[in-house]
Each structure stands twice: as C-alpha cells, then as structure tokens.
C-alpha cells in the first residue's frame, strides 16, 4: 500500500507536509510553468505589506559557502493588488480543496499596518495567514517585532482578535528566547507557528571596504542554518501544543525527515528552490520511497519521535 503523507495542519488538510517557503517562489506563477505546484501540500505567498513596496536598493542576494544572504526588503505589490491579481492566480494552482493549501504571508512595520492588512485579507479565500513578525518595528527603533517576547505577544494578541483565518505566526530565529516567544504566541491564540525565518548576518566587500548590503546586515538562509533551525524547531515543538511548520536549509528528503522527527508537522522549502525549482517534488518522491522501505504507513508515525 502507498504510504499516507496527508496531514491536517491547524485544521487545514494538506496532501503532504511539503510547503514552498515565502519569498522563494513568488506567488507560484513562474514555478507553475516548470512543474505542477498542485502536487505539494502548500505554498506560501511572497511576504505582503499593506501598501506596495519597491524593496531595497543595492545588492539583494549574496551567495555564501552554504546558503544565501538576502536583503530583498519585502518587495511586493501590496495587499489590495495581491487580492485583485495574485490570489486569483494562486487559485489556479490546483482545485480548491485538493490543491496546495494557500498560505498568505503578511508583514508590517507598525501594528496598524498589520491590522489593516488582516482586515483586507479577512474576506479573501485562502487557507492560513502566516504572520511574519521578523519585520522591523519602525515605531520602536527598528527592532523586529519577533525579537522581544512581549512585543510579539502584543502583535499576535491584536491580530488574533480580528483575524478570521487560521493564524500561523512565523518566528524569527533572532528571538531573545524562541520557546518562550512561541509559547506567548500560543497563549494569544495562534493556531500554529512556523520557524525559522532568516538569521541576521553580514558580508563585507573587502575591495570596497564596506558592507555588501546597503542595510549592512541581511538574512542568512540555506544549509548553513539547518542545524540551528532544527534545534529551535525541536525546542518549540516540545514547548507547544499547536503544530509547528519547520523551515531552514532543507534540501533533501533526509533533511525533511529530521525536521519531522524533531516535531514539525510540516516543513517549508526555501533557498533550495533557487538551486532546483522542482526540488520539493524530489523531496516528496524521496519521502515516499523511504516510508515504503521502512514500512511507515502514515507520516504522523515519525512526528516528534526524537
């Protein structure tokens, strides 16, 4: 018998636990020309903000020994244009209930930005709102919402009060105490958490004697972060009752299995998409044949066994 990979995540059925990570697949448009995105468990939209953003000046992506640094600066069309043009496209990626779960990633630079974005998205048809709290809070000196537990708690509490969709909070690995912050999200009514976002990092152009990035620091992702992100997923999964979607450096089915064994109910694939856009399908095939070879009938059997 074929092993069963379907799960229910925060009340939402996913045909398998593999999801394309925000910011690494746009809205699925380009990828859909290369492979059937509808075979995956879900897709996270590019991070949206209430108003359109042109993104950052200068270098935006920089390759490192084992991953990339990015400083894209949340370039996006804004929530209204997303609802008008990109979300209808995402609906074409598969039949509404049998296709990939549609996950909308929302950022903000003030609490009011987040709330206005959520209000607009409330009437739109998608499965999960992924709240990106790694954005800088401009009214509080630019420190990201997701660093201090109490700041994260405040934004989650206020969003939860008005959000009509299942709410998944995307955690920053730069949090002062990742499991305490995750617990605060759960206490405030989050339905799930995803982690991790990128790690704050730096590169220097030695010829120019200045940082590579205009904003000096940028976000590191890819294989370099995997062991640290995996540890954080393990810590959060043990601390929470709500499900965890793991992310960070997954490039193979073995990586995905590690995250599932650490307690993730599902995983996101990000930077690896830049190496091979259909890599998530390779990971799916690898997972299936590994389960068959191990006699694992249901993917839930390995969740959190470590």
Ligand X SMILES: Cc1cc2nc3c(=O)[nH]c(=O)nc-3n(C[C@H](O)[C@H](O)[C@H](O)COP(=O)(O)O)c2cc1C
Residues designated as active site: 135
Contacts with ligand X by CB under 6 A lie at 21-24, 46-47, 68, 70, 72, 74, 105, 132, 170, 197-198, 221-222, 225, 247-250, 269-272
Q: In terms of CB distance, is 199 or 240 closer to ligand X?
A: 199
Is the CB of residue 300 less than 8 Å from the CB of residue 52? no
**Best CA proximity match to 130, nearest among 96, 107, 157, 154:** 107
How far apart are the C-alpha atoms of 197 and 228, rounded to whole Å?
Answer: 12
Task: Find where tokens 């405030």 sit.
Answer: 188
Q: In terms of CB distance, is 3 or 169 closer to ligand X?
A: 169
Distances (CA, A) of 132 to 66, 215, 276: 24, 19, 25
Q: In terms of CB distance, is 16 or 271 closer to ligand X?
A: 271
Task: Give the shortest CB-297-to-ligand X separation in angstroms.
Answer: 28
Strands across the sheet containing 217-221: 61-64, 67-70, 217-221, 199-202
195: left (phi over 0), alpha (psi -120 to 50) or beta: beta
Q: In terms of CB distance, is 137 or 271 closer to ligand X?
A: 271
Task: Give the shortest CB-123-to-ligand X separation in angstroms.
Answer: 22
Residues 6+ away with beta carbon under 8 Å from 164: 122
Task: Give the shortest CB-298-to-ligand X separation in angstroms.
Answer: 25
Task: Give the shortest CB-267-to-ligand X separation in angstroms.
Answer: 9
Q: At what angle do helices 226-239 and 253-261 cross, to 10 degrees?
A: 30
Cis peptide before 196 (omega within 30 of 0): yes
Q: Are strands 244-247 and 266-269 parallel, antiparallel or unpaired?
A: parallel
Is the CB of residue 265 less than 8 Å from the CB of residue 299? no
Q: In terms of CB distance, is 254 or 294 closer to ligand X?
A: 254
Point out the residue whose Cβ comes nearest to ligand X.
23
Task: Give the shortest CB-227-to-ligand X separation in angstroms.
Answer: 12
Q: In the chain, what is the straight-line distance between the N-terminal and C-terminal CA atoms, in Å?
A: 26
| Residues forming a β-bridge with 247 | 268
């Amino acid at each position: 018998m074929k092993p069963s990979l379907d799960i229910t995540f925060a009340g939402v059925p996913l045909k398998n636990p593999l999801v394309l990570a925000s910011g690494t697949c746009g809205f699925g448009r380009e990828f859909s020309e290369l492979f059937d995105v509808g075979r995956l468990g879900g897709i996270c939209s590019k991070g949206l903000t209430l108003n359109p953003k042109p993104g950052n000046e200068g270098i935006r992506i920089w390759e490192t020994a084992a991953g990339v640094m990015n400083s894209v600066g949340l370039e996006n069309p804004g929530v209204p244009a997303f609802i008008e043009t990109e979300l209808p496209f995402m609906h074409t990626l598969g039949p509404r209930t049998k296709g990939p779960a549609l996950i909308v990633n929302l950022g903000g630079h003030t609490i009011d930005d987040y709330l206005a974005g959520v209000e607009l998205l409330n009437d739109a048809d998608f499965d999960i709102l992924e709240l990106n709290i790694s954005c800088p809070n401009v009214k509080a000196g630019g420190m990201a919402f997701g660093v201090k537990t109490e700041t994260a708690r405040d934004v989650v509490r206020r969003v939860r009060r008005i959000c009509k969709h299942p709410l998944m909070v995307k955690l920053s690995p730069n949090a002062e105490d990742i499991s305490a912050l995750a617990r605060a999200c759960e206490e405030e009514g989050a339905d799930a958490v995803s982690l991790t976002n990128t790690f704050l990092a730096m590169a220097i152009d030695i010829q120019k004697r200045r940082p590579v990035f205009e904003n000096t620091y940028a976000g590191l992702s890819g294989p370099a972060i995997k062991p640290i992100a995996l540890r954080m997923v393990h810590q959060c999964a043990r601390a929470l009752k709500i499900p965890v979607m793991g992310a960070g450096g997954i490039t193979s089915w073995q990586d995905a299995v590690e995250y599932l064994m650490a307690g993730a109910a599902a995983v996101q694939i990000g930077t690896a998409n830049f190496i091979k856009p259909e890599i998530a399908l390779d990971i799916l095939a690898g997972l299936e044949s590994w389960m068959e070879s191990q006699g694992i009938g249901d993917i839930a059997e390995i969740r959190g066994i470590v």
